[in-house]
Structure 1
């Protein structure tokens, strides 16, 4: 388990949105240089003042590359710290060399390593930090407790940087899940819309071809029906394409179809099926999600009947609103052949019903009640328990 975690960390890429430099970097550089100047002028007990100032200025410049080269900046910074720690051991006086401003800059680079580095850079950089920190602790004469506190204080900015990165990554994953669900919903809407309209156009065209020789006026009527269905398809597809465009403010979309559009949906001019529609109960106050789901269930069921119901002559659609639920029933009197599994349409309907906290069943009738039956039960308002039980993808 630990080996897999380390392998995952080692292969972690850099964050893709790391800016090279922003105005804050120049403000930080100005503040650092001002701190170096003030400390060099006002502080009296600075050992090797020129050397300390040069190293401090050098460290103040390194944060300009902390996002694009986090490992290099950490290595250079802690290499400089190690040189300053070793210098008193080989020359007099044996006192710490350096400015406090330089120490603050080093903490900023420790923060930047896990925040902007790749997994490989984080592992190597932490190794450098621990190695240099351990050497500095061993060369120092302070008590053990103070050494431990100092080491923890050195690593604390790195923990903060890792937490900030984790939070950003989690938010990006959440946004990607939202985008994925939106794409899935649009794909489902596109399938339902195109499949229904194209199936209706095919049926109308077949009827027109049969009647063309005996009744030209009926053939013209069938062509008008094809034209109407084609225009309606283009209209709905334009709305979906507009939803996919990135316009910043948002596209002006047509409202989603609902129960009020079912009468237009079941009108199939020139078709071979008699479609009956029965609406019962208060269907005007449904929530938008349930209203759209009822329409899509009926639309997909009618489309499947037109395409797959052999010898069917009648299709009955019933939508009944009760106190807490809405029941949808679509039944034809034909027979199905060559369908061993559900297609994308029925799968999408089941997912839609489950998301709303309802159920959907589709299959052949039993006993003398032949044909294909689709039965759905949806709550009038979205069920929170149903939404929670559905796993997020």
Structure 2
């Protein structure tokens, strides 16, 4: 496929074809921004990066892929994306910058499939990311063709990251870590949660990240929403943020204190760290995904504050919760279908331990780790102890 200029793609067509075959899918229609970005090799249209609605409808990018025939792949785009293509041509052999809404985008995708696809294809879709009007048009055009949930196919395709993807995730994590440390140093007595979040947004933006969210606590409160609550001397700060670097998510949590941590605070964070390290020790290619969960939970059960502490792990990459899925409904409602499966080199995990202490507040570490053949690599690991505010 060298003539298709696909060297930069993070996936292999043969792997995609195998996944589609196992799922009983002949044609794939990807319509979520994250999977379109992935299939396009990292491209996302900046005009609709933060929102979808326009006029009476919304932006609906579509990648249409016919199993076993990459040269038939089409990208159905917004009309303005023709300018993007002129500057940096897309790899897809067919490009249709024709749409302003959902129905005209789907009409073009249907037209392309009628010309290039099988007569009665089994069509893979993303049900949660396909608007009702577009879905109805697709069903009407292929009344005898089943629509099949393809989310699992795309999750498996994204599960193992390429070296380029791993570098992006590492870079994103390091930039968030640096942003957090700078923000905690800047914050001082009287700084409000809103002001601290705004400062983190500025720090992440200055480092080339697209700010996504910040969950922040001060003092004994467990409320992580933005407010006018002010930081007081001796209080803890928990700062949990996600930042996007060219489509890849960095997501970590770090702790701060206004002043010097007392012995109790040192002990509480040490409890969190002990649980984290127990889970880390079970991460390596070939290890069962559930082993890290069992190790974290077993270590947590030994801790003095186990009754107010929770342990969790999940896969991450293009989105904050993706394959491998290692826990069930904890706290996000999905099945831990990969708990009994071996980890693979190139998978990326988020491991987090959270304490809701009744008097000292919200104490948490969240870390990003890449699975390697011999163990793991910790991304953005700086500042995992107590970061001092007002410096």
TM-score by shorter chain over 0.5 = no
Q: Rg bigger for which structure? A: 1
The structure whose RCO (Cα within 8 Å, separation 6+) is larger is 2
Give the alignment's TM-score, normalised by structure 1. Answer: 0.21
- Name the structure where helix makes up a greater proportion of residues: 1
What is the TM-score with the length of structure 2 in the denominator? 0.21
Higher strand residue share: 2
